[in-house]
Chain A
Amino acid sequence: MWLSFFTPDLFASAIRMATPLALAAIGGTICERSGVVNIALEGMMLVGAFFGVVVTLATNNVLLGVGAAIVAGVLLSAIHAFASVTLRMDQVVSGTALNILALGLTGFLMEVIYGHPGATNGIQHIIGPVFNFPTGGTGVLATIWTWIDQIVFSYTPIVYLAIIIAIVAQWAMFHTRWGLRLRALGEHPRAADTVGIRVQAGRYSAVLISGALAGLAGANLTLEQVGVYSDNMTSGRGFIALAANIFGRWTPAGSYLASLLFGFAEALEIRMQSFQSVIHVPVQFFLALPYVLVVIVLAGFMGRAVGPAAVGKPYEKE
């Protein structure tokens, strides 16, 4: 029985579900490292998901769709940057407003463009897996190959891209001049300003990068996973991504691994439901599991989480 519980599909499912979380979480990490809180990840993911489908349906070109998703995320994040960096508004208020704006805007444009609420039409071809190796056969070798193929080679491009982004961002944040400056902005913007780093420009670029990554996460949801946009389909992933960023201690690699944990919890939840005839508990228990895990992990196991010192504080030149 336990052999059928742990299948390669379980792990592949975890990585698939971790991908949108991880992209948004890394965006959140970069943004917060620069000293700007970004709780609008959810909204940026949502507009990315929506415009990815809109442009793909209009042009029949899924690459343009991915581009549109990124641009949509960047545009929404530009409002956040303007409000929180230039106008020095409260960053949480701006982020909340943008989340509501994203939900209202996508619902409104759905009416305008397609004439009905609910869901768009499906795109003709969603982005398929990068590799297509043959599997099958019998014997130990064939089984091992099936596992490797499923866990390593079964994914769509953005899933691999997310892993590359995590590695590159981790390296850049701690081993490049850009990374050092970014961290300085979030720890002590006055000191950074004193040595000639342009605080506002740096924060703008960090917020825009987070928008691009959240938009890409939206593209993963609609253009790679399901091929249709429906109202509010990000379904709270932006907020789980925020938790992953904190659990990952404001590092890109940590954010990716934390997202992987949350993805695995959800995959495990789905798998445990299939074994309900063996594990006799109400389905609500399983459904709550991933969220319970988030709370336990954040409250219990990681101790005090210390973010960048100047996060959430607008910077004003004297």
Chain B
Amino acid sequence: MKKSFRTICALFVVFAMATVVLAGCSSTSTPSSSTTGTTPPASTFKAAMVTDIGGLGDKSFNDLSWAGLEKAKTDLGIETKVLSSKSIADYETNLTNLASAGFSPVFAVGFLMTDAVSKIASTTPDTNFGGIDIFFTNPPKNVVGLNFKEQEAGYLAGIVAGLATKASFDPRLNAQNVIGFVGGMPIPPVQRYEAGFVAGAKSVNPTVKVISLYAGKFDDQAKGKELGLSLISQGADVVFAAAGQTGIGTFTACQQSKKALFIGVDTDQFLTLTNPGDTILTSAVKRIDNAVFSVVKKAKDGAFPGGQNLTFGLADDGVGIAPYHDFDAKVPQAIKDAVDKATADIKAGTVTVPETLK
């Protein structure tokens, strides 16, 4: 009797835990089938996207992709829809559902969806697919990969940092001519940011010392802060972090120590961090929204760029640099001019930014 009571109790606890865990998994972001698009009578062109597990509201990848579709809805009058993935197992289901509902192109957001989108694309050849940050090997006619030249955004950030560390428009800028880079994991997109940052800084300030530190993780803020403090103790007065959540810790290090300015990454982090105004100089941004919009527009004009991997750089407004915001009045015109010149040179092809160090 007593024993069976215990067993029932134990089972209850297990179920209670399981329920909460499942609830935790399944309620990420918006309801799974939020039809955000109204039905424009004139058009039957429908584009959609499947988010990665982060879902809408991540202030990064997923939100940027959705912004691209929203722009297409307003400007091109198409119908749009987003399905959120709650786990890796949802990728294929979501992609299939959108394809069978007549959406084309369907965007898969994030590197982790590589296999899912390749598989579904081969079984539904009449639907077009786009993969954000996915580089496909031999993509079929109905698949396009959307990649970015992070190094070009890093290059512009490097120019800002390389010139700022020599300047004196802010009391935190010292005379040691040292700047810092914090990376999440040493993977290609992050390394492209780093390579561009170093090249950009050296192009305007050949003697500048650039110290690069990696956290080995994207989710460890405390480590990010220690990396930031370490850079600052070695004299770095401008720090660029391409490290996801780890970078938030680096931002805190700059803000708290009052000894360095911070450059954000991917989105304009001035808009997403708390009290950023006194610390964020600018951000190196990745315009996923522009890339998505351009592919949708081409598809609507009947020229879906399938069968290839597209790379979006400065010339296609695929990457760029964010406004200076609160620093706009302080940043010397020379820095703004140098950034403009480099932008023009890269667009014209007279400057090619390296993808790797050395």
Contact = CB atoms under 8 A, between A and B. Distances in A.
Interface of A: 4, 7, 9, 13, 16-17, 20, 79, 82-83, 86-89, 97-98, 100-101, 103-105, 107-108, 111-112, 115-119, 121-124, 126, 221, 225-228, 230-233, 235, 266-267, 270-271, 273-274, 276, 283-284, 286-287
A106 to B, nearest CB: 8
Interface stretch (B7-15, B124-132, B306-314): B7-15
B305 interface: no
A215 to B, nearest CB: 16
Contacts of B27: 108, 111-112
A119 B273 CA distance: 10
B222 A20 contact: yes
Contacts of B219: 230-233, 235
B352 interface: no
Contacts of B67: none
B217 A235 contact: yes
Interface string B156-198: 0000000000000000000000000000001000000000000
Contacts of B224: 226
Contacts of A122: 252, 273-275
A126 B245 contact: no
Contacts of B186: 283-284, 287
Contact of B213 (A83, A228, A270): A270
Task: Please classify the interface of chain A as helix (H, G, I), strand (E, B), loop, or mixed, using the class held by over half of its residues.
Answer: helix
Contacts of A232: 219
Given A97-B14, A118-B245, A119-B245, A111 B29 contact: yes
27 contacts: A7-B233, A13-B226, A13-B230, A17-B222, A17-B223, A79-B13, A97-B21, A101-B24, A104-B22, A107-B24, A108-B23, A108-B24, A115-B57, A117-B55, A117-B57, A118-B57, A118-B60, A221-B221, A226-B224, A226-B248, A231-B219, A233-B245, A270-B226, A270-B227, A276-B212, A283-B186, A287-B216
B241 to A, nearest CB: 13
A203 B244 CA distance: 41
B211 A274 contact: yes
Nearest 7 interchain pairs by C-beta = A104-B24, A116-B57, A122-B274, A108-B24, A287-B216, A235-B220, A230-B245
B234 A225 contact: no
B83 interface: no
Given A227-B274, A274-B211, 9 more contacts: A101-B17, A104-B20, A108-B23, A116-B29, A117-B28, A225-B221, A267-B226, A283-B212, A287-B186
Interface string B134-146: 0000000000000
Contact of A118 (B10, B54, B229): B54
Given A79-B13, A87-B6, A228 B221 contact: yes
B101 to A, nearest CB: 25
Nearest to A123: B274
Contacts of B23: 104, 108
B245 A231 contact: yes
Interface string B20-47: 1111110111000000000000000000
Interface residues of B, number: 51
Contacts, number: 147
B249 interface: yes
Contacts of A100: 21
Given A118-B54, A121-B274, A104 B212 contact: no
A89 B10 contact: yes
A114 to B, nearest CB: 9
Contacts of B274: 121-123, 227-228
Contact of A9 (B13, B29, B233): B233
Contacts of B225: 225-226
Contact of B9 (A87, A98, A123, A284): A87
Contacts of B249: 225-226
Contacts of B211: 274
Residue from B13, B54, B186 having most chain A Cβ neighbours under 10 A = B13
A105 B245 CA distance: 19
B53 to A, nearest CB: 9
Nearest to B216: A287
A111 B28 contact: yes
A274 B213 contact: yes
Contacts of A270: 213, 226-227, 230
A263 B274 CA distance: 28
B214 interface: yes
Given A111-B27, A233-B222, A104 B21 contact: yes
Nearest to A104: B24
Interface in B201-257: 211-214, 216-217, 219-227, 229-231, 233-234, 245, 248-249, 252, 256
Interface in B51-99: 54-60
A104 B24 CA distance: 4
B222 A9 contact: no
Contacts of B59: 116, 118
A98 B17 CA distance: 8
A52 to B, nearest CB: 13
Residue from A100, A112, A227, A286 having most chain B Cβ neighbours under 10 A = A227
A105 B20 contact: yes
Nearest to B245: A230
Contacts of B214: 273, 283, 286-287
B248 A228 contact: yes
A34 B195 CA distance: 53
